[in-house]
Structure 1
Amino acid sequence: MSNYSISKTLSISNHRVLATDLNEHETVFGGEILATIDNNASIAASRIARIETVTASLDRVTFIAPFRLQDSMCTESVVTGVGRRSIEVFTKIIGEHLKTGERFLGLTCFATFVVTDHEHALPALVADTPEYQYLAAGYPQRQAERKAQRAQQADLNAHLSLELPWS
């Protein structure tokens, strides 16, 4: 399979923060941000897979600075690693205070998507900028951490009751 440039997976979306986006703290509601991440990251995953993908996890979601009214949110997602069926996507959201032009890093996140076709081969990645080289270099460690986390999750799941407490 051929190599694929990380830059070709870049997905960018912009959103102006409106009053309807805010929570009781007058910052953007976290659930809205998670939906934005999933939507934008899914496009990056699709750009390398070119078949149906599904979200497997959102990992390392780090809220760095809040987004407020009169800010914009620029969401950038790129594929930073591929496994046999899995696709790791890194997302950052850059805020901008629209009245001053000041930009800030508001959030970073890694998401994992999987291709639904078990026989589909994913291309190898080529990290073509210093930022992408840094992100791609950490992929093997993050992949190993996710594998260990899946084992821990399976153990947790085995100990959870599915019965309703009032049944």
Structure 2
Amino acid sequence: MPNIMTCRQTLAVTSHRILASDLNEHETVYGGRLLEMLDGTASISASRLARSQVVTASMDQTNFIAPFELNDSFCIETYVSGIGKRSIEVFAKIIGEHLKSGERFIGLTAFLTFVAEEEITFTTLEAQSAEEKFVCQGYQQRQQVRMQNLHRQQQFNRQLSLKHPWDL
């Protein structure tokens, strides 16, 4: 009997209020700060499935859709959207809210891949909501593209010099 886990069982959610210290020179949240928080939340989703140490392998299809500004809030939601032997794909979205009006908006989406220390014991991921089904149905295609990109990156890396510029 296959081990089954639902996307919902891997859901991780964090909420943040935007303060002046989060802003860049454009008066919006600094992108690097968003990526740091996104990675931390997504790692929780991956760990809920793996039940072992996981490390971030890639962050793909990261789309900054709308900015977050002072006195907005945002909620990071992540869940597992695909499972390999040791790899775990996590879908992430950041939902912003203008606290004065209550208007909500999608600010960022991304797919992150984590690698587990040990082989994953769950063989089936069950998507239940319409969003989960939509996101999970594209996993195989995203995985193929990811592997092609990895191969190209490895070829690219072999062409890079490790010498310091002043040694050339």
TM-score by length of 1: 0.97
Aligned partner of 2:126 in structure 1 is 126
Which string of whole-angstrom CA distances, capped at 9 and with x for unpartnered residues, describes residues 34-71 of structure 1?
Answer: 00110000000001111111100000100000000010
Aligned partner of 2:147 in structure 1 is 147
**Alignment partners' CA distance in 1, 2:9 and 2:85:** 20
**Alignment partners' CA distance in 2, 1:99 and 1:70:** 8
Aligned partner of 1:36 in structure 2 is 37
Residue aligned with 1:7, SS:
helix
Q: Does 1:19 align with 2:24?
A: no
Q: Give unmatched runs, 5+ long, in structure 1.
A: none
Aligned partner of 1:73 in structure 2 is 74
TM-score by length of 2: 0.96
CA apart distance, 1:120: 4.2
Q: Between the two proteins, what is the percent identity of the paired residues?
A: 52
Matched ranges for 1:31-70 at <5 A:
31-70=32-71
Aligned partner of 1:99 in structure 2 is 100
CA apart distance, 1:2: 1.0
Aligned partner of 2:159 in structure 1 is 159
Q: Give unmatched runs, 5+ long, in structure 2.
A: none
The AA in structure 2 aligned to 1:114 is: V
CA apart distance, 1:87: 0.2
Aligned partner of 2:9 in structure 1 is 8
The AA in structure 2 aligned to 1:159 is: Q
**Alignment partners' CA distance in 2, 1:85 and 1:154:** 20
- Identify if the C-alpha distance between structure 1 residues 14 and 48 changes in structure 2 by more than 3 Å, giving closer, same or farther: same
The AA in structure 1 aligned to 2:40 is: N
State how many pairs are aligned.
166
CA apart distance, 1:82: 0.3
